[in-house]
Structure 1
Amino acid sequence: MANAILKRTVEIVRDRLGHALDDVTIDRVAIGLFFTGVKLSTGHAGACATPVKDIPDAVCCPGSAMAMPFPGKLRGRRAADLLDEAMEQVGIRRTLGIATLNALAQMANEDRVDERIEIVEGLDAFAAAQVGVDDTVVVVGAFVPFLRELRRIGARHWVLEKDPSTLKPHEMPYFREAERAPEVVPEADVLIITGTTLANDTLGDLIALAKPSARIVVVGPTVTIIPDAFFERGCHILGGIKVTDADAFLDILSEGGSGYHFFGKSATKITLRKRL
């Protein structure tokens, strides 16, 4: 389903931009430790989580480096070409494709009004989910601010994570191995999923495990701010980003920065949700 969401979103972007897409090229690429960013010739930018642990070529030495898409060589390439890699490739090439898709989505969403969708800049996706003390929450990915807020509220919660080393000792009682998703996810009244699952093709499986009444939130810079395909497949809230200063944003990514470094400076949070 994750691939289906990508495919549908790419179709929407191509349809909205039409022939204008033909003239859009890649101006700059930054492959960072946490996120990869793409800036377009139009000035728009987008990001995707960098799959460092899943890149077999991310090792020394020259032989492996030959297979990597060097950022400098991508400058001037048609953005439309990288869209195809969002669906057809894996690893860092898919990452670049999704980052390009997210940049084009920001371009395609300008001045667009959809009465079915509420778009709120600066609103945190966790706040939009309106988690209550009586809710059981399952968080896919180590979202430290979300986990902190869940402990403050006192809501019953679990965190599914592939790498437990990303969690602090006081968070470990809530840890569940990612392989236990079929057991844990159906318990969720609120299911919060990292957008990285879009890149590794696990989003669809997680959505399918949720009970029908669950509120499903997909969040992170990897999330595309065109929500149609997500909402069509059961998601209720998307938490993405809007890049406000493309060059400063890519500078931060290239220096190993994350949301702590770019939110409120070169990017802002943006939440999209279905209108009741």
Structure 2
Amino acid sequence: MIVDESYKLIDAKYGDLINNLFVSDVRIGALLSAIRLSDGSCGVASTHFERSCPVEVKQRYFGPFSPGKIVGRKVSELFDQEYESEVVPILKVAALNAISPALVARNSKFKIFEEIDPLELTEIHSYSTVTMVGAFKGYINRIAPVAKRLHVLEMNPDSLRGEHQHHYVPAHKFADVIPCSDIVIITGLTLINKTLESILETVTP
């Protein structure tokens, strides 16, 4: 999985900086979750649960990263988890978001753009076919009038209404539209629901 592989690469190069990091605070919200690490860095991730909590106690997760046990755990423990409750992938992405900025800033090969909208770094033309994974209304309003064609992959058809309804494409049909796209915009939620790798396989370089 991309998230775990990313952590392994970071650990191999910057292990001396992150091995002692632990979770100092965590918040799990309805839409977003946040984590604060012992060095003061913070990261957020989308909250995504595919199923409701099991009714029977014996089916529930009571591992080291279950509620009430998360704070004080080392980040390395989080990525060592073999069994993942639905909260673990959320915490992993949030932790990577907390760790990454400081490490990227140390590497002169990368440039961090602050306070800028990603669309400002993207050239969308009248002949462009754009596919969005996730219905971001603000982006749809800006892309639809410019691009030749806009596909919005979503699980919920009600995410698009009115004049934008015709842009809707069922999420499971991603392989039908992404290979024909000039630009693909992907939500970070795909890291948590583990669909990013299959989506990237259909992207034409």
Instruction: Tell me the TM-score normalized by structure 1.
Output: 0.66
Query: Match of 2:157?
Result: 164
- Is 1:74 aligned to residue 67 of structure 2? no
Which of 43, 46, 51 is residue 55 of structure 1 equivalent to? 51
Q: Deviations over 1:152-202 (max 9, x none)?
A: 325311101011222233221110111221211122011111111112221
- Is 1:121 aligned to residue 117 of structure 2? no
Q: Map 1:1-276 to 2 at 5 A.
A: 3=1, 5-52=2-49, 54-57=50-53, 63=57, 67=61, 69-85=65-81, 89=84, 91-114=86-109, 117-212=110-205
Query: Match of 1:258?
Result: none
In the comparison of the two structures, how many residue pairs are matched?
Answer: 203
1:134 and 1:15, CA in 2 relative to 1: closer, same or farther beyond 3 A? same
| 1:77 positional shift | 0.8
1:127 and 1:88, CA in 2 relative to 1: closer, same or farther beyond 3 A? farther
| 1:56 positional shift | 3.1
Counterpart contact for 2:21–2:39, Cα < 8 Å: yes
Cα distance in 1 for residues equivalent to 2:66 and 2:149:
45
| 1:136 positional shift | 0.6
1:192 and 1:90, CA in 2 relative to 1: closer, same or farther beyond 3 A? farther
Moved over 6 A (4+): none
Cα distance in 2 for residues equivalent to 1:195 and 1:8:
16
Counterpart contact for 1:29–1:39, Cα < 8 Å: yes
**Greater strand fraction, Structure 1 or Structure 2:** 1
| 1:137 positional shift | 0.5
CA RMSD of superposed structures (Å): 2.4
What stretches of structure 1 of length at least 5 have no aligned partner?
Answer: 213-276
Give 2:116's aligned amino acid: L
User: What SS is found at the alignment partner of 1:105?
Assistant: helix
Instruction: Tell me the TM-score normalized by structure 2.
Output: 0.87
Percent identity between matched residues is 25
Counterpart contact for 2:20–2:74, Cα < 8 Å: yes
| 1:84 positional shift | 2.9
What stretches of structure 2 of length at least 5 have no aligned partner?
Answer: none
| 1:110 positional shift | 3.6
| 1:6 positional shift | 2.0
User: What SS is found at the alignment partner of 1:121?
Assistant: coil
Cα distance in 1 for residues equivalent to 2:138 and 2:194:
25
Cα distance in 1 for residues equivalent to 2:80 and 2:44:
16
Counterpart contact for 2:132–2:184, Cα < 8 Å: yes
Cα distance in 2 for residues equivalent to 1:167 and 1:70:
35
Deviates more, 1:18-27 or 1:32-41: 18-27
Higher relative contact order (CA 8 A, sep 6+): 1
Counterpart contact for 2:3–2:92, Cα < 8 Å: no
